[in-house]
Amino acid sequence: MDVIKEDLVLDCSGMLCPLPVVKTSKAIKGMEIGQVLKMVATDPGAPPDMEAWSRQTGNELLRSMQENGKFIFYIRRNK
């Protein structure tokens, strides 16, 4: 897998719904279009929620993966 270079890391470990999507939304709004956010979460509800969030906002979920019990998302700001 290619390495994705992030511009900002957001750690949502230990947070439950709706905090990961709310914090992600806030972080993305503070970034430039084209920049990539890496978000780390432990909430098992985060993967389907981040997919829905990405479809609804038009920001691209470049990769969604699981590593050492954490869910990691790479999101590119498109809008």
Partner 1 sequence: MSKSDPNAPKRLALIASKGTLDWAYPPFILASAAGAMGWEVGIFFTFYGLTLLKPKLTAAVTPVGNPAMPMKMPFGPEGFQSFNWPIPQLIMANVPGFNALATTLMKQTFENKGVASVEELRDMCVEMDVRMIGCQMTMDVFGFKREDFIKECEIGGAATFLEYAADAEVQLFV
Supply the minimum distance, in Å, between the C-beta of residue 25 and partner 1. Answer: 4
Binding site for partner 1 (CB under 8 A): 14-19, 21-22, 24-26, 43, 49, 52-53, 56-57
Q: How far is the CB of 34 from partner 1 (least distance, A)?
A: 18
**Smaller CB distance to partner 1: residue 16 or 33?**
16
Q: What is the DSSP string of the chain?
A: -PPPPPSEEEEETT--TTHHHHHHHHHHHTS-TT-EEEEEE--TTHHHHHHHHHHHH--EEEEEEEETTEEEEEEE---
